[in-house]
Structure 1
């Protein structure tokens, strides 16, 4: 019974997140457009750092 409740809850979260993912890739009329590029994150010594920092590598 517990696993059924957990599965139903997980399915509800996935179903509710789907429209939010597609929203940035639509124009005002609801037509799909090209999505903007995602910002690059960089790391230095295992921690997040500015990509302008010398030695930082993109993830």
Structure 2
């Protein structure tokens, strides 16, 4: 029982230690300095066509 608890505690600590750097913003410029990450464009949805502001526009074919 004690060994199982210790193994779970070690596994949890390793998972949380490796997840922290992954959450940090990894955006760097050519010199290696941290910069603000560019905004991601929303995924294209099927159905009525909309522009960036959400207004309906004629769909391009």
The bucket for the TM-score relative to the shorter chain is 0.3 to 0.5
Structure having the higher strand fraction is 1
Larger Rg: 2
Q: Higher RCO, 1 or 2 (CA under 8 Å, sep at least 6)?
A: 1
Q: Give the helix-richer structure, 1 or 2.
A: 1
TM-score (norm 2): 0.41
